[in-house]
């Protein structure tokens, strides 16, 4: 049965111990194969997904025994084949595991691979790791953008998933990204405090903008090095919003180099990037030693080229009082 036929009728799911505590949006992503994430969010907003006969929100947490009803999904979906993960891809993914214990796996995801399949993507990081490792239970603890590289936490046990997602919600896990942005950032350190609102384009693609109607969002920026045409920054999001670092950079006039969604029209005269210059480089999790992944070679190459372009004038650094 193909995915177009599969969701034409009402679909029912029952939550077992493996899904206890999982968000409804993440639950549906893993089960409504072939349905775009934007469509799933729309179904939730429109009340087409009910849990125990009640309307819910995307962040609603599930409990054992919950009955989930999904209305018929009338959506033209392109055929997708379940392409097997090749041995080469499998070994590549397994080689990118930088930390593993009985409950947690941390993978250094390359740029260009989604964290999970769907919307025309045969498989993503999580599906590839399941196939490559042969492990029956692997679940994403959080997500990073497809074009962002770096550290992704994956649970091997339900208890680890619940524990670390609770720590994320309580802002007790510190995530540090390295980014290369356009222009010379004037402040050595600054806290970008700008509410973010998520919206959809006509084609269903999700975007984010700064808006007074958005959710509170804060990012700490620390400048590492300035160049003639760019700045190397360490960014730590103090909230977990979609595209947060990218949009906050745009909001202060320094969009990320290589970003084709936000600030791509901003003038940039430096070396041409190969990808979005954003990498999740460090995780500080209570009870664990810090976990790190160095800046990938393509970003290192771009930084070396920027560094070689001698600046006529480097901005005198100052610090934000905040």
Taking the CB of residue 180, how many other CB atoms lie within 10 A of it? Answer: 26
| Rounded Cα gap, residues 24 and 57, in angstroms | 8
Q: Which of 139, 127, 2, 19 is nearest to 68 (CA)?
A: 19
Q: What are the CA-CA distances from residue 312 to residues 227, 228, 229, 260, 265 (Å)?
A: 10, 7, 10, 28, 24
3-state secondary structure of 306: helix
For 297, phi and psi rounded to 5 degrees? -60, -40
Burial class of residue 28 (count of CB atoms within 10 Å of its CB; 0-12, 13-18, 19+): buried
What 3-state class would DSSP assign to 177? strand
Spell out the alpha helix ranges (H) of the chain.
Answer: 3-6, 24-31, 37-45, 87-95, 125-133, 158-169, 244-251, 297-308
> Out of 66, 145, 147, 259, which one is annotated catalytic?
145
Q: Are 193 and 176 in contact (CB under 8 A)?
A: no
Measure Cα distances from 304 to 185, 188, 226, 271, 322 in Å: 18, 21, 12, 10, 32
CB 25 within 8 A of CB 59: yes
Q: Which helix (H) or strand (E) holds 210?
A: strand 206-210
The answer to whether 145 is a known catalytic residue is: yes
- DSSP strand pairing (187-193 vs 318-319): parallel
Q: What angle do CA 36, 39, 43 make, to 5 degrees?
A: 140
Provide the pairing of β-strand 174-182 with 230-237.
antiparallel
- Could you give the residue numbers annotated as active site? 145
């Amino acid at each position: 049965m193909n995915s177009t036929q599969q969701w034409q009728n009402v679909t029912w799911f029952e939550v077992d111990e493996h899904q206890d505590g999982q968000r409804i949006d993440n639950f549906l992503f893993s089960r409504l194969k072939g349905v775009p994430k934007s469509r799933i969010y729309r179904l939730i907003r429109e009340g087409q997904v009910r849990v125990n006969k009640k309307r819910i929100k995307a962040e609603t947490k599930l409990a054992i025994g919950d009955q989930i009803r999904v209305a018929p999904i009338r959506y033209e979906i392109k055929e997708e084949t379940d392409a097997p993960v090749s041995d080469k891809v499998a070994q590549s993914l397994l080689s990118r595991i930088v930390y593993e214990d009985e409950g947690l796996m941390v993978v250094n995801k390359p740029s260009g691979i989604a964290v999970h399949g769907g919307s025309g993507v045969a498989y993503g990081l999580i599906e590839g790791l399941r196939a490559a490792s042969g492990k029956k239970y692997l679940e994403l603890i959080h997500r990073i953008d497809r074009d962002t590289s770096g550290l992704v936490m994956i649970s091997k046990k339900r208890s680890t998933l619940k524990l670390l997602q609770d720590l994320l919600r309580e802002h007790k896990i510190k995530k540090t990204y390295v980014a290369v942005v356009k222009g010379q950032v004037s402040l050595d350190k600054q806290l970008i405090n700008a509410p973010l609102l998520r919206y959809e384009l006509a084609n269903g693609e999700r975007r984010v903008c700064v808006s007074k109607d958005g959710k509170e969002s804060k990012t700490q920026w620390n400048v590492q090095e300035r160049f003639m045409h760019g700045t190397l920054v360490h960014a730590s999001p103090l909230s977990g919003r979609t595209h947060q670092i990218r949009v906050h950079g745009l909001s202060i006039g320094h969009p990320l180099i290589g970003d084709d969604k936000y600030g791509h029209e901003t003038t940039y005269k430096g070396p041409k990037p190969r990808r979005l210059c954003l990498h999740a480089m460090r995780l500080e999790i209570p009870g664990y030693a810090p976990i790190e992944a160095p800046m990938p070679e393509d970003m290192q190459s771009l930084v070396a080229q920027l560094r070689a372009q001698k600046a006529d004038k480097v901005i005198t650094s100052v610090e934000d009082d905040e």
